[in-house]
Amino acid sequence: MIKVGVVGATGYTGLELLRLLVNHPQAEVLVVTSRTEKGKPVADIFPSLRGDIKLCFSDPQTSLLEDCDVVFFATPNATAMHQVPALLKGGLKIIDLSADFRLHDAQLWSRWYGQTHAAAELLDQAVYGLPELNRKKIAKARLVANPGCYPTAVILALIPILEAGVIDPQSIIADAKSGISGAGRKAELQNNFCETSETFKAYAVAGHRHLSEMCQTLNTLGKQTVSLTFVPHLVPMVRGIHATVYARLLKKKIDIQSLYEERYKDEPFIDVMPAGSHPDTRSVRGSNFCRLAAHIPDQGDILVILSVIDNLTKGAAGQAVQNMNIMFGLDEMAGLTFPPLSP
């Protein structure tokens, strides 16, 4: 059994991670930490886990982490970077669900996150944990930077067409919508029910932190630098991301459907839907799937890719477990084979 530690498990991502790990056939959750809830039973904070986990929250500095094989960090940004170096020296493997190790450039990271990176020497060692792109590197990695939720949906939509060179990489627009859980579990006025119900708005149009993460990865896929316009929106639902991605085709006579089906034919969590489909977020709710559909309106030169994921699962905790499976040589689908929740 793989001995697992989860640092910072009181948010929605941490809860989702525990939900997946307690039923994983080859993982044992050894320690769960929280500064604010230390000493309290995990099941008292998360009643949904009653009967599945009997641990109490420990302090994040607990020596119990040293007994683990892998430690997940489900912490706020700029937290994991202070603790990861010592754990790596102790021989542990790390999967960080925050943004601390996603960017390779320390100055760029500081620009977006407002402080100096505390472990900049590890940025080049961290493997970006998108299995559909970096599976071989993940298998050998000791430090995996789990992708953000928006980047997961957008990058998966673009991989086949950028690799094939069939679109103008300067023409890409990603219009993405997220459920409120993407903002985290913290209590903030703009995220409460009265403020978010029956309304719909864009935010961070001038620049979102995930933009740099997307561009860093997308720039490795083609021969030219990518220009991406990314506009996120908040919608009044709990879970899910719907990304509508637009790009200009370089040639009109291209079988886009076959291109996507061929690129993802061996990917267990990518569902390329039949031509003309319109995937919705409910169809992936609570699952590790990404569903994709390609459209060319009016047979013109604009390609539209629809991409849906659950932001807490494929966009965070599910993908983290998928990465753990790869890092330890397990069946990649272990602990992740359940169907989506519906309704």
Contacts of 136 (CB under 8 A, 6+ apart): none
pLDDT attached to residue 185: 65
pLDDT attached to residue 342: 87
At 26, is the secondary structure helix, strand, or coil? coil
> What is the rounded CA–CA span in Å between residue 12 and residue 110?
26
**List 56, 68, 149, 194, catalytic entry:** 149
DSSP code, position 337? -
pLDDT attached to residue 198: 86
* Residue 181 clears pLDDT 90, i.e. is over it: no
Q: How confident is the model at residue 192 (pLDDT cuts 50, 70, 90)?
A: confident
Q: How confident is the model at residue 223 (pLDDT cuts 50, 70, 90)?
A: confident
**Omega into 274 within 30° of 0, i.e. cis?**
no
DSSP labels, 261-301: HHHTTT-TTEEEPPTT----GGGGTTSS-EEEEEE-GGGSS
Burial of 78 (0-12, 13-18, 19+ CB in 10 A): middle
pLDDT attached to residue 53: 95
Do the bridges between strand 27-33 and strand 201-202 make them parallel or antiparallel, or are there none, so unpaired? unpaired
pLDDT attached to residue 284: 98
Please give the average per-residue pLDDT across 91-106, as a whole number. 97
Contacts of 50 (CB under 8 A, 6+ apart): 43
At 218, is the secondary structure helix, strand, or coil? helix
243 bridge partner residues: 176, 307
Please give the average per-residue pLDDT across 274-302, as a whole number. 96
* Residue 282 clears pLDDT 80, i.e. is over it: yes
pLDDT attached to residue 299: 87
Q: How confident is the model at residue 6 (pLDDT cuts 50, 70, 90)?
A: very high
Task: Report how many helices (DSSP H) and strands (DSSP E) the chain contains, helices first.
Answer: 10, 14
> What is the rounded CA–CA span in Å between residue 322 and residue 309?
15
201 bridge partner residues: 234
Burial of 54 (0-12, 13-18, 19+ CB in 10 A): exposed
Please give the average per-residue pLDDT across 253-268, as a whole number. 96
Please give the average per-residue pLDDT across 89-118, as a whole number. 96
Please give the average per-residue pLDDT across 244-266, as a whole number. 95
What's the pLDDT tens digit per position in 11-63? 999 999 999 999 999 999 999 999 999 999 999 999 999 999 999 999 998 89
Q: Is 68 a catalytic residue?
A: no
The DSSP element (H or E) to which 230 belongs, if any, is: strand 228-234
Global pTM reads 0.96
Do the bridges between strand 241-248 and strand 27-33 make them parallel or antiparallel, or are there none, so unpaired? unpaired
Domains, in order of start, for the chain: 2-125 (3.40.50.720), 150-311 (3.30.360.10)
Q: How many residues does the chain have?
A: 343
Match 């590890």 to its residue by tokens: 122
Alpha helices in 141-250 (DSSP H): 149-164, 193-196, 209-218
pLDDT attached to residue 187: 61
Mean pLDDT, the chain, whole residue set: 95
pLDDT attached to residue 193: 75
4 bridge partner residues: 29, 70
Distance (Å) of CA 150 to CA 141, 146, 243, 329:
23, 12, 8, 27
Q: Which residue has the higher pLDDT, 197 or 103?
A: 103
> Structure tokens of 149?
């939720």
Q: How confident is the model at residue 197 (pLDDT cuts 50, 70, 90)?
A: confident
The DSSP element (H or E) to which 3 belongs, if any, is: strand 2-7
What's the pLDDT tens digit per position in 115-142? 999 999 999 999 999 999 999 999 999 9
Please give the average per-residue pLDDT across 166-185, as a whole number. 90
Q: How confident is the model at residue 222 (pLDDT cuts 50, 70, 90)?
A: confident
